[in-house]
Amino acid sequence: MPSFDGKKAAELHRHLHSHLPSDPALRVKALESLLVEKGLTTSETIDSWVEAYSDEIGPKRGAKIVARAWVDDGFRDRLLANATEAITEFGFEGRATAHLKAVANTVDTHNLIVCTLCSCYPFSILGVAPNWYKTAAYRSRAVRDPRGVLAEFGVDIAPDTKVNVWDSTAELRYMVVPERPKGTDGWTEEELAAIVTRNSMIGTERDLGTGGDS
């Protein structure tokens, strides 16, 4: 009869579980499998939607909005006055942006977006919300210690720079218009949009690189 090695069994148990998906991932996979089994969708369709929201619907949509605001002062004014209406010029209106407010960073002001109640987020223009945005740690600390949170993202805010924290809700969501980097004069909207990041539109990134003079 083979002997039982408890230590080896425990190590094997830990090894197997270290390769298992998280509980939410398991639930999502189970739901996907059930929907596919019942013929309500296909794995390819789900993958296409995930890819679309991650790479196409956003944050590329948001980047286009920011780039237009950088080159068109009239659009920038309309965006800051009524973002929900302004983005209809791109055909980007939708449920997640029905009540959208744009806030602009300046030399002496920085804006940070959070949702303290859950994780409300304008996903139709910023893409899928990052995991850290949904965590209780970010949601609570962004309000209590925004400068500390920003420092953890590598953003050092000068003492004389004002930090505004905007709390999203199901009725009102926000996007940050970052400052246009120096050295981008003469760039096309497409070139400008390419340097706009999702984090800069949330506010956890401030200085956008250009590959040129800063």
**What residues pair up with 111 in beta bridges, in sequence order?**
164
Q: How would residue 29 be classed by pLDDT, with cut points 50, 70 and 90?
A: confident
* Residue 140 among the catalytic residues: no
Q: How would residue 66 be classed by pLDDT, with cut points 50, 70 and 90?
A: very high
pLDDT at 213 over 50: no
pLDDT in tens, 109-129: 999 999 999 889 898 889 888
| Model pLDDT, residue 212 | 39
* Residue 43 among the catalytic residues: no
Give the chain's domains with CATH numbers.
Answer: 22-56 (no CATH), 58-202 (3.90.330.10)
More confident residue, 35 or 81: 81
Q: One of 48, 118, 140, 214 is an active-site residue; which one?
A: 118
- Among residues 123, 140, 116, which one has the least CA distance to residue 58? 123
| Model pLDDT, residue 61 | 92
- Among residues 72, 57, 30, 178, which one has the least CA distance to residue 121? 57
Q: One of 120, 124, 168, 200 is an active-site residue; which one?
A: 120
| Model pLDDT, residue 11 | 62
% of the chain with per-residue pLDDT over 90: 57
Q: What is the mean pLDDT of the chain?
A: 85
pLDDT at 214 over 50: no
Average pLDDT of the segment spanning 190-206: 96
| Model pLDDT, residue 211 | 45
Task: Give first-to-last CA distance, the chain, whole Å.
Answer: 73
| Model pLDDT, residue 94 | 66
* Residue 214 among the catalytic residues: no
More confident residue, 55 or 91: 91
Instruction: Please state the three-class secondary structure of 82-146 as a single string.
Output: CHHHHHHHHCCCCHHHCCEEEEECECCEEEEEECCCCCCCCHHHHCCCCHHHHCHHHHHHHHHCH
* Residue 119 among the catalytic residues: yes
Peptide bond into 59 cis (omega under 30): yes
Number of Cα atoms under 13 Å in the Cβ half of residue 34: 6
Q: Is the dihedral of CA 103, 175, 131, 210 positive or negative?
A: negative
Q: One of 115, 124, 168, 200 is an active-site residue; which one?
A: 115
